[in-house]
Amino acid sequence: MPAESRNPYVESDGTPKLRRSVVAFIDILGYMDLVKSTTSNDRQALLARLHKALNLSRQQVDPNHSDDTLQKLRDKDFSAFRAFTDNIVIGQPIRYDGEIELGSVFDSVSYFQMLMTMEGFFVRGAIAIGDLYMDDIAVFGAGLIEAYEAETTLARDPRIVLSPSAQVAVNRHLEYYGRGAHAPQNRDLLRDSDGQYFVNYLDTLIPEDGYFYEQELAAHKARIEEKLVLLRSRPSVWTKYLWAANYHNYWCDQNSCVDSSMKIDTENFQLMPARLVPDA
């Protein structure tokens, strides 16, 4: 008799079950362009680098690759994970009001995004709340559709945004704390100038014990600067990394332990007009 599935979307008798869930859909930004622009001689090296980054990063989001001993002792996993060529889907069924599950997904995707970015693979995505079913064969449900549409239409930059359903839930959870600055959502998320809530992944560099991962922030800075130089001739893509630079600098300004030298000098990367023939 086969062992009972650990998948939280599969009943004990093997029946697939739609469950109200937190759903994250995450895409590797510029994946197709990256592959196309790489010469055949360099693709093996690109594959090795991407595989290493994904293998390391998925430990944060895939229960089958987690080092959490307590999780492995449970009958069912709290979440499910599915990877495609250039994107991933995470589903976590909701038991009560969704605050715990949202917080768990915020933590997971923050580490995932930070680790991927340090390796030079920028991601964008969206988090939604809705019905979901997922296993090794299929991913199905309105929650997935909403997360996918939000990633496509709202994320735009290398950020993981909240879809309308998730944003409504977070606003409700903030009321539990009187909308005070001590609310955990106030650390997990930021609100962008266009009104979108997005995951504040750089806060993974200063965990609750107060240690500052300075080398990781330096790597984050370097990867953004590389993109700003490489993509200067492609304005529609280049602006996405200018957004990443502005987010990086904002985060540095918000944390007193970060030296100003860790900021990105965006003035060096601004697109500015100039005459075709300089004045004599």
Q: What element of type H or E holds 24?
A: strand 19-28
Mean pLDDT, to the nearest integer, of 21-50?
A: 84
pLDDT reading at 56 higher than 90 = no
Region 46-62: mean pLDDT is 79
pLDDT digits 0-9 by tens, 218-245: 999 999 999 999 888 888 899 999 999 9
Global pTM reads 0.90
Helices (H), 40-163: 43-57, 69-73, 99-118, 142-150
Give per-residue pLDDT as tens, 164-198: 999 999 999 999 999 999 999 999 999 999 999 99
Rg of the chain over CA atoms, in angstroms?
20
